[in-house]
Structure 1
Amino acid sequence: MYDSLNHLAADPVGRAPRSSATLVLVRESPAGPEVLLLRRAERGDHNSGAWVFPGGLVDEGDQASAGCCTGVSADEADARLGVERGGLAYYVAAVRECFEECGVLLARSADGTPVSAAQVAVLDAARGPLHRGETTLPALCAEHGLSLALDELAYYAHWRTPVGIPKRFDTRFFAALAPAGQRALHDAAETVEHRWLRPAEVLADPAGYKMLTPTLGTLKLIAAHPSAAAFLAWARQPREVPLTQPRLGSGSQGKRPVLPEEPAWAELGRLDPEGRGHASYDIQTDVAVRLSPHVIRVTAGNGSVMTGPGTNTYLVGGGPNNEWAVIDPGPALPAHVAAVLAAAPGRITQILVTHTHTDHSPACVALKQATQAPVLGRVAAHPMWQDDSFAPDRVLQGGERLAVDEGVTLQVFHTPGHASNHLCFLLEEEKTLFTGDHVMQLSTVVINPPDGDMRAYIASLRTLATTLELDWLAPGHGFLMPRPRQAMEAIVAHRLKREAKVVDALRRLGPATVDTLLTSVYDDVPPRLHPVALRSLNAHLFKLRDDAAAVERDALWALAGLSAPAEAPAAR
């Protein structure tokens, strides 16, 4: 390995990832793009028998190859890969490994033309000596008058092995169109088989091909494009290539890598920084999860299309007096109430409620009976969809600071929108906001008038995003969420984008009924969910009405200035 490239920080248990590069060869076919995959030899490790792209470690010879490269300068490579130095060596390693493992060489002759199949055939005998370090790529290029065509490579992905795995790699992924006339041949040493395959074909048969996570990720990327040319055009677009580093977790599928786009990824990094894989990527019903010294989560077994994996109940406390507050007792399920009581390490002294929808507050009655703790919250302005058993001992207005224990303080924010009585609670010492249903993971919340108010909801989100310094969101459904401001800004952007669809539909279809607008505005939502979406559509329309952008008469909606007729138009 080229030591000067090993500028990566070691993980918490001291293993630094090794620099490596991978080259994905693609070609066109009548049925769509195809990729070259090689099957690894059986070596007794987790890579044995896996189908992979050509690739391997960056070595010292790759850095020394700068003199035989064309198309990409050292400075350009560094800038593209976002490194201070050594970027060119990744490009060279990708070309070298591809030649060593499958006999395909991205190079040009002295006159600038692509290397011919005949020239590559002559070079084929050097694949073994090159792999064994008996010769170098610069030496071969000098002997045969070649230069490496690095501009044929498109850098598109950056993967790093999860912390906790003994052999770790920091891999840059490149893609290139397979050169015409050259024939791929596996080396019969490290690889024992090769195939040109369509990504969609492989993804449709997951049991038929053993693959590592980055390989599957690349196949999904390519499968989303209609042709190899389209994929390469996307890969060449100027953009920041993010690092993708999975984290190990345990759950219903055993111990496995969890990708950054999966809900549990951020929480796994917080609970298991050493990558031992003991934290769960599944939400487990009525199991106490210690999120920090001051926070415990217990999720009710009421999972559904409306509640996701279930409603989260949080215990917050654990100061010198070992006193705790409960946020959102959840539904009145005896097993859940018992699990919350069992999870409390000390005395429960307060019961707090974000809002009184029936999945969040009904267990207040049983929890209060068991603990004698007072209930704090607000009563909704409208009774529809509310918990009629809710009776707060103290009504919160917003702005209060609740001392749960010494060094454990919750600040109260009134955040109407999803519900008129919605509250969020900020654990000041950890910069964690308990959001109830104000922010949900993987889904936007339903805004159901008259108690729900889209205008108030967006205003509440903007206030929190711009005024609070936060590290984490603890939602009423799902795992801990990082980057709170970005999460809230994304929700606002989504709501405004949906509002723009409402305006467009009114412009095209209005005056129209809400049922007519629904199928146009929520054409990206399954029809089975349209009854729920109808609630949020009404909320958008009411916001537009309050903003003087839309009007409603005789159950017909139109843009302001385009009045609805006195009678509904005859059916056409």
Structure 2
Amino acid sequence: MTASPTEVSSSPASPRPVRMAATLIVLRDANAGLEVLMLRRAEKANDQNSGASVFPGGVIDAHDRGLHGCCSGLDDRAASERLEVPDGGLDYYAAAIRECFEEAGLLFATDSAGRPVTLDGLPPGQLAGMRHAAEQGTDALLSLCAQHGWKLAADRLAYFSHWLTPPGMPRRFDTRFFLATMPEAQSVRPDGRETVEHMWLRPADAVDPARGLKLMNVTRRILLELARFQSVQELMAHARGLKHIPRVMPRLADGPKGRRPVNMEEPSYEEVGFVDPDGEGGGRYAHEAGLAMRLSARVLRVTGEAGDGSGTLVHGYFVGTAGGDCALIYASPASRAHAEALAAAAPGHVRWLLSTQAPSEDALRELWPDASAAAPAPGEQIRIGDATLRALPGDGDAQSRRFLLVEEGTLFTGASDAPAAGEEQVRWIAPRQGFLHSRR
């Protein structure tokens, strides 16, 4: 059955605010190898991460900048250079330490003699009181440091990763991830409010489906990266040696298994960003026979099986103004089912049949007998409403053609996946098979 065209919104909603956040990944060495601290979040209504296993972390507090004077081994200038921000980089380090203390009961700090702070020897009531005070606001942690002569050990944290929540999510976070070695003479104590359980797990075990953990995409991806390392020392050395840490932003898209994040290395990523930059819906991570998908106001793509019996999925592209004249760009031959899907999805009167391969008699000629199937010469242009198609030479085959949608810089091609020399106006590639992608 032919799917209804997937629409692209013409009036994006107001962008959701992005909140700055910091996360601390606590590590230790065990007999079986490197282990990471995981906390299970409490079950809460209307929380997209309810019950998930996470690393300690949270949103940057408005007063975290007040903790700069309590940080040792790193000043704001050096921290900002490391995070590649104009200023306020030390806010993230301070927030990561504060959140870890609040959620896990671990405090990365040193005493007046420069020795790591020990908490296990404190009376339980005193430690609980300290954590409760810190949870009430950053100023309380500032007072604790002043009272005990402590310094927050920002230099023990190694910057490791940078993720931005996909557009379209109810809440969005721009999060910096740090690594640190489990402090001695301290014990993990979930706060019982935000976090209710803790686990020490090998990263590979944490992502094993048999373990049954609920993991967010970003957590799973970072765990997979951590699984490459055998020891804390090896991982920390790697992190400290990183010169530039790019921001990673998945995008939400739909497909046979429902909506999910699409990661940046996936083939569909660029197309999802092109058709749905604000995460409102419409992007796809998988092709399906019969799917009609609007890529832009001028382009509608219809996917179907090729006519050679291979079962390979190929695309036909309608170019033109909806309700007016249009051209169909295709790679012949089309299967009967694909031809029927094209006919059902045609957004207007098909006046041109433009093949990117050597023209042949097929089902499309039967459907649109009045459409011109003449192959325009390289350089010739076809005006279709507010769209202009320019014929470009094929690749080696005198009968093949490529077509450029001038207004959008989109190149429709049946073979080559790259523009030729001198075709700087090409910005996007619309291939016979596969996803729309930017010029390489």
Q: TM-score, normalising length from structure 2?
A: 0.88
CA 1:134–1:265: 2 relative to 1, 3 Å: closer
> Could you tell me which of 417, 422, 425 is aligned with 1:469?
425
CA 1:394–1:163: 2 relative to 1, 3 Å: closer
Match of 1:407 in 2: 386
More helix by share: 1
CA 1:463–1:264: 2 relative to 1, 3 Å: closer
Match of 2:7 in 1: none
CA 1:15–1:424: 2 relative to 1, 3 Å: same
Distance 2:160 2:248 in 1: 12
Distance 1:182 1:331 in 2: 69
What amino acid does structure 2 have at the position aligned with 1:32? G
Q: Indicate if the aligned counterparts of 1:24 and 1:174 stay in contact, CA closer than 8 A.
A: yes
More deviation in 266-275 or 252-261? 266-275
Residue 301 in 1 paired to residue 301 in 2? no
Distance 1:366 1:207 in 2: 52
Distance 1:32 1:472 in 2: 46
Distance 1:31 1:303 in 2: 54
Aligned length, in residue pairs: 424
> Could you tell me which of 94, 107, 110 is aligned with 1:108?
110
> SS of 1:311's equivalent?
strand
Please report how far the alpha carbon of residue 134 of structure 1 lies from its aligned counterpart in structure 2 after TM superposition.
8.3
Match of 1:55 in 2: 57
Match of 1:36 in 2: 37
Distance 1:147 1:365 in 2: 77
Please report how far the alpha carbon of residue 152 of structure 1 lies from its aligned counterpart in structure 2 after TM superposition.
1.4
Please report how far the alpha carbon of residue 102 of structure 1 lies from its aligned counterpart in structure 2 after TM superposition.
1.0
Residue 166 in 1 paired to residue 166 in 2? no
Distance 1:143 1:92 in 2: 18
> SS of 1:196's equivalent?
strand
Distance 1:18 1:264 in 2: 27
Q: Indicate if the aligned counterparts of 1:120 and 1:182 stay in contact, CA closer than 8 A.
A: no
Match of 1:479 in 2: 435
CA 1:141–1:57: 2 relative to 1, 3 Å: same
Larger Rg: 1
CA 1:296–1:155: 2 relative to 1, 3 Å: same
CA 1:176–1:330: 2 relative to 1, 3 Å: farther
Please report how far the alpha carbon of residue 147 of structure 1 lies from its aligned counterpart in structure 2 after TM superposition.
1.0
Match of 1:23 in 2: 24
Please report how far the alpha carbon of residue 344 of structure 1 lies from its aligned counterpart in structure 2 after TM superposition.
1.7
More strand by share: 2
Please report how far the alpha carbon of residue 295 of structure 1 lies from its aligned counterpart in structure 2 after TM superposition.
0.8
Please report how far the alpha carbon of residue 148 of structure 1 lies from its aligned counterpart in structure 2 after TM superposition.
1.2
> Could you tell me which of 295, 299, 312 is aligned with 2:315?
312
> SS of 1:327's equivalent?
strand
Distance 1:170 1:307 in 2: 42
CA 1:91–1:425: 2 relative to 1, 3 Å: same
> SS of 1:348's equivalent?
strand
Please report how far the alpha carbon of residue 476 of structure 1 lies from its aligned counterpart in structure 2 after TM superposition.
1.6
> Could you tell me which of 411, 414, 417 is aligned with 1:433?
411
Root-mean-square deviation (Å) = 2.7
Q: Indicate if the aligned counterparts of 2:376 and 2:391 stay in contact, CA closer than 8 A.
A: no
Match of 1:552 in 2: none
Query: Highest relative contact order (Cα 8 Å, sep 6+), 1 or 2?
Result: 2
Unaligned runs of 5+ in 2: 1-11
Matches within 5 A, 1:116-195: 116-118=118-120, 123-133=127-137, 136-195=140-199
Distance 1:301 1:394 in 2: 24
Please report how far the alpha carbon of residue 434 of structure 1 lies from its aligned counterpart in structure 2 after TM superposition.
1.5
Distance 1:421 1:90 in 2: 59
What amino acid does structure 2 have at the position aligned with 1:414? P
> SS of 2:305's equivalent?
coil
Instruction: Tell me the alpha carbon deviations over residues 223-275 of structure 1, each in whole angstroms, 9 at most, x when there is no partner.
Output: 12233333222222233322222222222222222222223333223333442
Distance 2:383 2:289 in 1: 26
Match of 2:74 in 1: 72
Please report how far the alpha carbon of residue 354 of structure 1 lies from its aligned counterpart in structure 2 after TM superposition.
2.2
Q: Indicate if the aligned counterparts of 1:32 and 1:198 stay in contact, CA closer than 8 A.
A: yes
Match of 1:277 in 2: 281
Q: Indicate if the aligned counterparts of 1:307 and 1:477 stay in contact, CA closer than 8 A.
A: no
What amino acid does structure 2 have at the position aligned with 1:374? S
Residue 247 in 1 paired to residue 251 in 2? yes
Match of 1:371 in 2: 368
Residue 292 in 1 paired to residue 288 in 2? no
What amino acid does structure 2 have at the position aligned with 1:423? R
**Deviation above 4 Å: which 4+ runs of structure 1?**
117-124, 419-422
Matches within 5 A, 1:470-549: 470-482=426-438, 484=439, 487=440
What amino acid does structure 2 have at the position aligned with 1:28? D
What amino acid does structure 1 have at the position aligned with 2:318? L
Please report how far the alpha carbon of residue 123 of structure 1 lies from its aligned counterpart in structure 2 after TM superposition.
4.4
Matches within 5 A, 1:325-364: 325-356=327-358, 364=361
Distance 1:462 1:271 in 2: 21
Distance 2:76 2:148 in 1: 23
Instruction: Tell me the alpha carbon deviations over residues 58-90 of structure 1, each in whole angstroms, 9 at most, x when there is no partner.
Output: 112311000011122111222222222221111
Unaligned runs of 5+ in 1: 1-10, 376-392, 440-460, 488-572
> SS of 1:279's equivalent?
coil
Please report how far the alpha carbon of residue 298 of structure 1 lies from its aligned counterpart in structure 2 after TM superposition.
0.8
Please report how far the alpha carbon of residue 94 of structure 1 lies from its aligned counterpart in structure 2 after TM superposition.
0.3
Instruction: Tell me the alpha carbon deviations over residues 536-556 of structure 1, each in whole angstroms, 9 at most, x when there is no partner.
Output: xxxxxxxxxxxxxxxxxxxxx
Distance 2:205 2:355 in 1: 50
Q: Indicate if the aligned counterparts of 1:426 and 1:432 stay in contact, CA closer than 8 A.
A: yes
Distance 2:427 2:257 in 1: 30
CA 1:303–1:165: 2 relative to 1, 3 Å: farther
Instruction: Tell me the alpha carbon deviations over residues 128-174 of structure 1, each in whole angstroms, 9 at most, x when there is no partner.
Output: 22112385222111111111111211112222222222222221111
> Could you tell me which of 220, 224, 229 is aligned with 1:225?
229
More deviation in 155-164 or 191-200? 155-164
> SS of 2:178's equivalent?
strand
Distance 2:408 2:419 in 1: 21
Please report how far the alpha carbon of residue 421 of structure 1 lies from its aligned counterpart in structure 2 after TM superposition.
5.5
What amino acid does structure 1 have at the position aligned with 2:180? A
Instruction: Tell me the alpha carbon deviations over residues 452-501 of structure 1, each in whole angstroms, 9 at most, x when there is no partner.
Output: xxxxxxxxx5744x64133322122122113x1xx2xxxxxxxxxxxxxx
Q: TM-score, normalising length from structure 1?
A: 0.69
